[in-house]
Structure 1
Amino acid sequence: MLSKEKLARINELAKKSKSSGLSIEEAKEQSALRKEYLETFRATMRDTIESVKVIDPSGNDVTPEKVQQAKKGKFLN
């Protein structure tokens, strides 16, 4: 998870971009922060999906095969 300071900086740069524009250094910083944010988001989402177990009303495990394989691969690494 990104720190509150980094999230605040992302928002600050976005507001400045809309109002007065960014310098080259600020644009590079914004790009790097966005990339870090997306990597963190994707990793968190992947972990969440891989930890899901789907059970039907009859009590049977109907977790998609792709999720089961991803879960097995994660534990083998």
Structure 2
Amino acid sequence: MDLVNEFDKNKLARINELAKIAKERDLTEEELAERAVLRQEFLENFRAGFSQQLSGIKVVTPEDQD
């Protein structure tokens, strides 16, 4: 699963654009709300992908080896 494809490159670009704007000036209320929504979507997508990766991992201890 490719995180960027799953999240949408345009949304990621918008998050980065808002971060750049925030360094230059205060964000408007609308921009703050948009950033919060985009960040939440990003985190949900990231957590889902990470959880999927972890579910495919098997820990092998010396006792488990033949």
Give the TM-score category using the shorter length: 0.7 to 0.9
In structure 2, runs of 5+ residues without a counterpart are 1-5
Structure with bigger helix share is 2
In structure 1, runs of 5+ residues without a counterpart are 62-77
Q: RMSD across aligned C-alpha pairs, in angstroms?
A: 1.5
Question: What is the aligned length?
Answer: 60
Q: Percent identity?
A: 45
Structure showing greater radius of gyration is 1
The answer to whether 1:14 aligns with 2:56 is no
Alignment partner for residue 9 of structure 2, among 4, 7, 29?
A: 4
Moved over 3 A (4+): none
TM-score by length of 2: 0.80
| Larger RCO (alpha carbons 8 Å, 6+ apart) | 2
